[in-house]
Structure 1
C-alpha cells in the first residue's frame, strides 16, 4: 500500500461558550484547525487534525501549520502509511523541528493503517483497557460569580471533574478557587491549572493559602526546575503539561521526581506515534496519564479517546471531549459521550466518518 494523495483543509471552529480565557489576559475565540486526508492506492482514506489554541499556548500557531503541511506532504507520496516509524523519521529528516505541523499527517497515517487492518485504532495502540474514560471540564478565568455559576452548571450536567484556571493575580486566584470549591459538592475532583503562569514565589503563595482545599496542582511554573522547586514544599499531587515536550523531557521529570502525573498533548509531541511511545514509557515509570491535545473537533477528539482507552485504567487520570466545545461539525458521527464518560466510535481506524462537504475546499492538494 502506498500514499497516493494528500489534501489539507482549513476549518475555524468557534467555541460554544464564547472566548476561552486563561491567565495574563490570554484568550481565544475558536480552534483554528488543519484537517488532513491521506488516501492510499487501495482507495482507503485516513484523517488527521491539529488545532493550536491561539498563538499563545504552545510553540505552535495556525498559520504555521498551514504553511508547513505543504512543505512535508510531497515527501510522503509513494510511501507505505503503515510504516509509521519510518514515516515519522522521514518527516523529521525533511523538516527539522515543528512537531505540531507533523501531528495531523501522523494521525492520518495511523487512521489509514488501522482501517487497512480493519481494526479500531485502540487495538493498534495496545488494546482497549476499558469501555469509557471519565472526562473533565474547564472553569475558565472570570469573576467569582461567573466561575461559581459555571462550576455549578458543569456539576449539574453530570461531570464530576473540574479544571479551574488560575495563574493570574495570586490573591484573586486564591479567591477564585476557594469560591469554586465552596460551590461544588464535596468529593468533586479539582485541578488548579496555572498554565505556567506563575513564578515559584507566586506558586508557593497560592499553595500555602489553599492548603485546606483538596486539589491537584497543574503546571504552576514554566520550567521543570521551577516546578520542582514548588513541588518540594507541596503537600498535594502535581501534574505537568507544558513541560512535557519530548521523551527526553519526560525522563528528566521522572529523574527529578518533579510530578506525579503528566498531560500528553498529541500535537505538542508530534503525533500519535510519539505520544504513544512517551505514554507507554511513562506508564512503566509509574506516572498518572492524561492524553489530550491543544484543540480540534471530532477527528482529534477520537484520537485522544483511542489513546486514553488504551492507557491502563489504573494509570489514567481523565480525558476531554473537545468536539463538544465547538459550534461546527466535521463528521457524521463523534466519540460517544454518556454523562461524564467518553468512548470511541464504532468502526475501524478512528471510527470517524468525516463529511468532506463540511470542510470546504482544500487549501492544499497533491497526488
Structure 2
C-alpha cells in the first residue's frame, strides 16, 4: 500500500461556550484535519490541535509544516510502516509533535480499515470496557462553577476537573464552592495549567486544599520545572500529576528518575500520536506511574485516537477527552454514553467524518500529491 495524496484542512471548531484556562480563553478551537488517500482506495483521517503554550506550535505552523515539510516526504510511503514513518518525520524536522500526530492518527485509521479491526485491537487489544467521563469546569466565579457542577451531577457525572491557576486564594474559593455544592462522594481533580508558577505558591495552595479530598493536582508549576514537581511531591500527600511537563520519552525518564509525579497526563498532540503515546505508557508502567490520556480539546477524530490508546492499556486509569461534547458542531460522530465512553468495534478509529461539515468549517486547505 502507498500514500497517494494528503489533504489538509485548517478548520475552526465552534464551542457551545468559551473554554477558559489559566493561560488563554478559547472562543473556538483551531484544528488541522488530515485526510490521507492510498492506492488501495482506503482513506484515513487524522487531526492536529496545536497549543503554542505547550509545544510551541500554532494552528498555522502545523498546517504549513505538514504542507511543506512532512506531507511531500510521505507520498509513496507505506502507511502501515508506523515506526519507519516516525523515523522519517523525526529525521526531517525536530519537534512538531502536533503535525506528526495528525499523520500518525490518519495512518492508524488506514491500518485498522485495512485489517478490518479497531485500532485498540493491534496496539495491545481491548483491556478496559468503559471509562467514566470527567466534566471540565472552565475558570469562572466560584458560584458559577459550583452551579455548573451541580447541574452536571444531575446529568450523571461523578467526577470533575476544576480549571484554576489565577490568584491562589480565589482558586481555593472555587474549589471549596464546588466541593460544598456536589458533596463528598464526587471525585474532584484540580488542573492549574502552570498557573501557580513555582513550588512556594503551590505549597501555600495545597495546605488550603487538604480538607476538600482532592483526587490529584495537575501541573501547578511551569512545565519545564520537573525539579519543582519533585519537591512538591515530597511535601504533600495530595497526588501530583504532570501534564505540560511531559512531552516525550526524555521528560518521562526525568520524571521517573526524580520521582516527580504520581500520575502523568499523556496527550497525543504533545508526543506525536498514537505510536509515541503507547511508548510513553509502557515507560510509565515500568515505573508504576498511573497514566491519563488527555487532549487539547479535539474533534471526534483525535479524541477517538486517544480513546483507543486508553482502552488498550492497563496503566491508563483515567481519560479526559471531552472535546466533542464541547463543540456545537463536530466533523465526526464519536458517541458518548454520558457519563461513560464505550468504544465500538468498527475498524480504524471507528469515526465517520462528515465531509459537508468539514468543508463548512474549513478556513483554508491544500493537497499534496
Does TM, scored on the shorter chain, surpass 0.5?
yes
Deviation per residue, 1:311-334 (Å, 9 max, x gap): 21x641233221111111213x32
Q: Would you say the 8 A contact 1:134–1:319 is kept in 2?
A: no
**How far apart are 1:8 and its partner, in Å?**
0.8
Distance 1:293 1:176 in 2: 23
Q: Would you say the 8 A contact 2:150–2:182 is kept in 1?
A: yes
So what's the TM-score if we normalise by structure 2? 0.94
Q: Would you say the 8 A contact 1:345–1:352 is kept in 2?
A: no
1:222-241 to 2 correspondences below 5 Å? 222=222, 223-241=225-243
Distance 1:320 1:245 in 2: 17
Q: Would you say the 8 A contact 1:114–1:348 is kept in 2?
A: yes
Q: Would you say the 8 A contact 1:13–1:33 is kept in 2?
A: yes
Match status 1:328 vs 2:326: no
Instruction: Please report the RMSD computed on the Cα atoms of aligned residues, expressed in angstroms.
Output: 1.5
* Equivalent in the alignment of 1:290: 292
Which stretches in structure 1 are left out of the alignment for 5+ residues? none
**How far apart are 1:112 and its partner, in Å?**
0.7
* Equivalent in the alignment of 1:109: 107
* Equivalent in the alignment of 1:260: 262
Match status 1:357 vs 2:359: no
* Equivalent in the alignment of 1:138: 136
* Equivalent in the alignment of 1:91: 89
Match status 1:73 vs 2:75: no
**How far apart are 1:83 and its partner, in Å?**
0.2
Q: Would you say the 8 A contact 1:9–1:363 is kept in 2?
A: yes
Deviation per residue, 1:111-150 (Å, 9 max, x gap): 1111111111010111101221111111111111111111
Match of residue 53, structure 2, among 40, 52, 56: 56
Distance 2:285 2:48 in 1: 25
**How far apart are 1:278 and its partner, in Å?**
0.7
Distance 2:92 2:284 in 1: 28
Q: Would you say the 8 A contact 1:304–1:319 is kept in 2?
A: no
Which stretches in structure 2 are left out of the alignment for 5+ residues? none
So what's the TM-score if we normalise by structure 1? 0.95
Distance 2:95 2:299 in 1: 25
Q: Would you say the 8 A contact 2:297–2:322 is kept in 1?
A: no
SS in 2 for 1:337: coil
Match status 1:173 vs 2:171: yes
Count matched residues.
361
1:3-42 to 2 correspondences below 5 Å? 3-16=3-16, 18-23=17-22, 26-42=24-40
SS in 2 for 1:19: strand
**How far apart are 1:56 and its partner, in Å?**
3.5
